[in-house]
Structures are given as C-alpha cells and as structure tokens.
Structure 1
Amino acid sequence: MINCIVVDDEPLARQLIVSYIEQLPGLHCLGSYPTAVEAFTALHQHQVDVIFIDIEMPGISGLNFIKSLKTHPKVIFITAYTEYAVEAFEIEATDYLVKPVMFERFLKAVQKVGLNKNESQRINQPTAEITNIFLKVDKKLVKINLSSIIYIEGLGDYVKVHTPNHTYVSYMALGKLEALLPNYEFIRIHRSIIINKHLIQYIEGNFVRIADIDLPIGLTYKANLFKSVE
C-alpha cells in the first residue's frame, strides 16, 4: 500500500485527485490540505510515500516547499502551468501533470512510484462526478453549483462567475479556473469568456446565444466551439 497526501489550495482540484486515489486499491490517501504548512505537519505525523502537490499556492509555493525539506517523499506536481516543468524535474520530481488531469494520465504517473499492475487496476465504480466549485468571495469560501453557472468572465487577475441569481467576483486567473472545470460541461469561446455548453441556445456568426445573452466568439476559439457541439 502506498500512502499519499494531496496539497492544493483549490478545493475542487483536491477533490478530483482524492477521487482518483480512491479508485486505486494500491493507494491510500492520508489527507488533503490547502496549504504547504498543513502538509508539513502531515509529513511529520505520518509515513508518506507520495505527495501530489500544486505549485502556485498562497504563502509558499509547492516548488519552494519541496526544496525546503531535507528529505521528501516522491513528488508528483499537479499544476495549471507548464513553465515550471524544468525546475520541477531538477529537484527530482517523479512526474509533472498539467491540469485538467484525466484519470488515464494520473494512472501513468502513479505507476512511476511503484504501483504494480494489480494495484493499478481501477476499482469497478463510477468516477466521482464533480458538481460544485468553491470560490473565495469577499473573504468567504462560497460553494457554487456548476450547473448554475451561465458563463465566466476573465478580468485581469479576477473572474466574474455569472449565475441566474448572482454574480460572484473572485481573485483568480481565468486560466486557473478553467483548469478546474470539467471540459464536457464548459468551453472557452473567447480569451476572456468561458460558457456552460449545456445552456447554449444557438450560434450565429461570431456570437453565441446563452440564457438570452449574446456573447462574442474569439476567432481562435470558433473551430473548437463548433467541434464541441457537433
């Protein structure tokens, strides 16, 4: 049995990786933590074999946290950014996964930490479906049902999440939020807009009609949008 912990400041991202771990009989999740500080405590309380860790987090980054440890378990970085890969492998990361992480890619990574063929057989159960996302809004962690999201706007370092009854503003880059959303439900149609595909009414010219709102389609995103609705 391989003992592991998950470290990521995004609740949805932690939930996804924990759900993957629970499907493999050879892995055991000792806990999931939103900060490196909490993970540090866990490392001293338990025998941890593998740590799945995000890179960009409040306080200390995942990279700097691993560098600060005199000794550390095997490390699999899970991040929305590709630019840290070289640095990650320089500190002997076992693997480097870019969000959104599919189960098949996750499985390849855990096989590198010693999971044998029998232990890596998926338990016969459906993948946990993610139905909610947690966003930091006005110093609170707000739970938002994914099906209620109409569209999301990127405004520099912030996002505006539009639902039928409320608009939530959160300090987060649009790309980071996009990496946490299930791609079967959401699609980016513009450099600053992500929409809920299930709410599309029609597409006409360079606009998509969704919940009686016309939203622009970026030229570089148009082909992918049409492909996703075929």
Structure 2
Amino acid sequence: MLKCMAVDDEKLVLDLLVDNIQQVPFLQLVKACRNAMEAAAILHEQPVDLIFLDIQMPGLNGLQFLQSLKNPPMAILVTAYKEYALEGFNLDVVDYLLKPVSFERFLKACNKAQDLYNLQQKSATKEEAPDYFFVYVEYVQVKVSIPDILYIEGMKDYVKIFLASSSRPVITKMSMKAIQEKLSAFRFIRTHKSYIVAAGKVTAVKRDLICIGSLELPLSENYKGEVEKALAL
C-alpha cells in the first residue's frame, strides 16, 4: 500500500485526483492539499510514499516545492503546462501527466510508481541483509561468509556448505529449504533437489551439469528454467 498525497490549487482538479486515488487499490490517501505550504506541513508530521503534484500554484510552485524537500517522496506531476516536462524529469519524477488526465493514463502512472517502490524496497532489503550467518557444527556456532560459499549439498537432515576459502565443507544439521531462506537476499540458484549454487561462481552450463571451474555439479531438468532465468541464458 502506497501512502500518497494530492496537491493542487484548483478544487475541481483536486477532487478528481482524490476520486482517482480512491479507485486504485494499492493507494492510500493521506491528505489532499490546496498549496505547497500546507503539503509541507503535512509531510513534516506524516511522511508519504507518493505525491501527486500540480506545478503552477500560488506562492511556492510544485517544482520549487520538490526542490525544497530534503528527502522528497516519489512524485507524479499533474499539470496543464507541458513545457515543464524536462525540468520535472530532471528532478526524477515518476511520471508527468498533462491535464485533463484520463483514468487509464492516471492508473498507468500509478503502476509505474508501485513498480519503482517495490524495486526500492527489494534493494533496501538486500542492502540491509547481513552477508553472513551462523550454524551449529558439533555444538559450536560457526560463522559462514555468504560471499565465500561456492555451493551447498543436501544430505537428508544435513547440508554441506562448500567454501572457496576451505578445502573442507561446513557440515550442519539443516534442511535445504531453511538454508535457501537464509540465502534468499543473495544470488543463489537451486540446480537440483540436493544442490544450491552461487550464481556468481558459475563458469559454465552444460546439458545436465553446472560448472564452477573444473567442478561439475548436477543440473536437474526440473530446475533448468530457474537456472536459465537467473543466469540470463
């Protein structure tokens, strides 16, 4: 759900924006404002993810308002003046809508905003995820560096974690599903019911084998589609 705000000094246009927002399932309207100063006060109290913003408004115009914000939300400009388009996109706005705006065009802009928001959230999750985890090895917690992992082999209730820095694998009691969840924010590929491989370590793919240097690991028919997608084959 994207929290949003609409800002336009024309009441009829503002009412139409509000009506359109209420028809989009993934939008939640926080406030409809008649000028930039009112919007600034609201943002100070309650940040939003997306703002629908007119450009030509008395006092502080829409572009000046965006430039004044330290951490501006995503913005969709809604205006009658196409000459501001270049300046708007220089401010990294999501979209630029010319009045009068059809609901179809409005929805297209909203979908772009949602896609961008989802991408930002996914990137933030990856950045925040630690690049290591701990596993029990003979009653001792051992740290495993994720960038050091070459591949993982499942053996019933245990997994072997093979590392670039060691000739001996780390063996711990864990299911393949559990370790796959630990690696979900990183580029690892399930190549077989018993194998997970670091995508960045793959050097070649054969008909039924996936290679890490001279090492050849099984590639199951059931996972070929996933492998091809992950490696852009």
- Higher RCO (CA < 8 A, seq sep 6+): 1
Q: Determine which structure has the larger helix proportion and give its number.
A: 2
